Chains A and B, each alone.
Chain A
Amino acid sequence: MSGIKDLFPKSPFSNMLEHIDKVSQCIDKLELLFNELKAKNYDKVELLANDIVKLEEEADTIKDMIRKNITKNIMIPVDKGELLAILTAQDGIADVCEDIARLFTLRKMEIPDELQSAYQDLVDAILNSSKKAVAAVRDLGDLFEVGFKGPEVEKVTKIFDELEASEKAADEKGLEFTRKILALEGKESPVAIFMWLRIIKVMGDLANISEKLSNRFRLLLN
């Protein structure tokens, strides 16, 4: 038997915030990686990719700990399934960052001149959606403080609306990039085109999983 000192386990929300910090760092490193790729600094790309792999592992450790702590002995103010679904989605963001980074280490990819702006547009859209996801999760502490009601909910809902707009934009930019890449058939090496198509798909996943997070999170706000 234990005393009242064991009544209050660590808040799952603070753990979620620790996890999202790692995810945020992954996104930041990925942003740097995209820039270094543009500048063709392939060494730096390799280094950043390694950083992201390490960060993703650390995020996994925190995720496992959170999953272990949300047992049936604990009572939390939100649906456990929903919280864990959000956790899965935010961990998915770190996973996709890692996938993208890994892809760029497989081959020294060069961005064709006519595709520079399409590339940057897609990068901006997916980074925007994932950063919005981070911002929303970072609000979990305040949302809990006010009981998931009131102006904080409007604040977070707004973030999700912007996130969904970014995701739509990412879809469009991904499509545009794909068209422009395919238009280079014959001019570019088939391997390069093939790799770009794969990269575009995984980049799109970053926006998709961010939207998944926003969908699950919205369920908390009803």
Chain B
Amino acid sequence: MSIVFIVAVIACFYMAWNIGANDVANAMGTSVGSKAITLKQAVLIAAVFEFAGSVLVGAKVTQTISKGIVDPAFFGDNTVVFVYGMLLALIASGIWLQLATYFGWPVSTTHSIVGAVVGFGVAAGGAKYVKWDKIAGIASSWIISPIFGAVIAFMVFKIIEKLILERDNPIRRAKKVTPYLVFATVFILILSFIYEGLKNLKLDLGVVEVTLIAVGIAVVVALLSSISIKKIDETKSDNEYKTVENIFKYLQIMTACYVAFAHGANDVANAIGPLAGIVNVMATNTIASTSGVPLWILTLGGVGIVVGIATWGYKVIGTIGEKITEITPTRGFSAEFATATTVLMASKMGMPISTTHTLVGAVIGVALGRGLAALNVKVVKDIFASWIITIPFTAVLTVILYNICDLFLF
């Protein structure tokens, strides 16, 4: 059994590495492209906040993957089957991602692992081993999340437009409105940090305390921001919109952190979900359906992602950042705020969703608000279509691997 465990740990680390190497870039790209942050800053922000998101908020989604789709209880005493199955799902998912990386396809790590786990469930015991109601919930979250991203991004951009851009003195308006935007972003971020987030660090706080802390910190940061932008020259000039955009660069630094945090919270599960399931089963040697996710597994996932960013991901972020230069800070802020909020909400609900799809949805929201100069609709279709190939591929691959294993081992 211990060999299986070691292989599982390696496979899990590899998946986490892959998320850091390829997926994170989609989350950070818009901030680098608009020149709100440099590549170095992006890597630093990603490393810190992806890790924080993974460890502090990643448990719920992890549990969905580790036991929400294929319930280990179905296997009774047959723990070996469950363990191998999860391992194979992990491996199949990793193979698909490696292929996709090689060919440059923007596939979702979330779809990969969900497809693979479903494949395992079906292979092991037929359709009855899969919790189809959970799958239905996950599938609908895949449809809802880009729509949510679009709606929120549209609203945020319209607010910026109405309150700042289409007014007489946009710079003065920007100085007035920015602290409120700062408050909103910091509030949601801190709230997600500490509400249920510190359970793993054994700090459980009630709703009231949490809200008060979040409000308090957000107010302080908002006040600091309003002080630091007080000195900006309000005189109307030819460059006034440039000044407004420059103010929003600082806001976009915040949303970059926010997106990285949300992404880590939702996607770490794609790497550690199977491992958590395996460890849970092996530890008790029975199949118990309740327990949290051990801290070391969350940390392993977080570290894997950071290593992925540091060794490969920075290149991808750089490439994307160079090409996405048409997006300005006001637009980038709107899209990122919407994406991060949606992904974080999904994470709190334990729903594994695709950050990239949500981001594309948010971008479409901005485009529908007439905020984007040009959007390539064909690329949007390609990105949204990728799950149609991903899920069957990983599911079938897992089924194949499982049957091979079945022949030789069981």
Contacts and interface: CB of A to CB of B under 8 A. Distances in A.
A13 B382 CA distance: 26
A7 B168 contact: no
Nearest to A75: B375
Place the interface of chain B in its size category: 35 or more
A4 B359 contact: yes
Interface in B258-298: none
A146 B375 contact: no
B40 interface: no
Given A4-B26, A5-B323, A147-B369, A74 B104 contact: no
B106 interface: yes
B213 interface: no
Interface in B365-393: 367, 369-380, 382-383, 386
Given A4-B320, A5-B320, A149 B378 contact: no
A9 B376 contact: yes
Nearest to A149: B166
B234 interface: no
B377 A151 contact: no
A11 interface: yes
B148 to A, nearest CB: 18
Contact of B382 (A1, A10, A152): A1
B378 to A, nearest CB: 4
The DSSP consensus for interface residues of chain B is helix
A12 B375 CA distance: 11
A5 B29 CA distance: 8
Nearest to A6: B379
B165 interface: yes
Contact of B375 (A7, A142, A148): A7
B360 interface: yes
A149 B369 CA distance: 12
Interface centre among A6, A74, A152 (most CB of B within 10 A): A6
Given A74-B377, A147-B371, A150-B166, A7 B104 contact: no
Contacts of A151: 166-168
A155 B332 CA distance: 27
B81 interface: no
Interface centre among B325, B374, B386 (most CB of A within 10 A): B374
Interface of A: 1-14, 73-78, 142, 144-152
Given A4-B379, A146-B165, 6 more contacts: A1-B104, A5-B323, A8-B376, A9-B375, A73-B378, A151-B166
Interface of B: 26, 29, 33, 103-106, 161, 165-168, 170, 241, 319-320, 323-328, 356, 359-360, 363, 367, 369-380, 382-383, 386
17 contacts: A2-B104, A2-B382, A5-B320, A5-B324, A6-B323, A7-B379, A7-B380, A8-B326, A9-B375, A73-B376, A73-B377, A74-B377, A75-B375, A76-B373, A76-B375, A147-B370, A151-B168
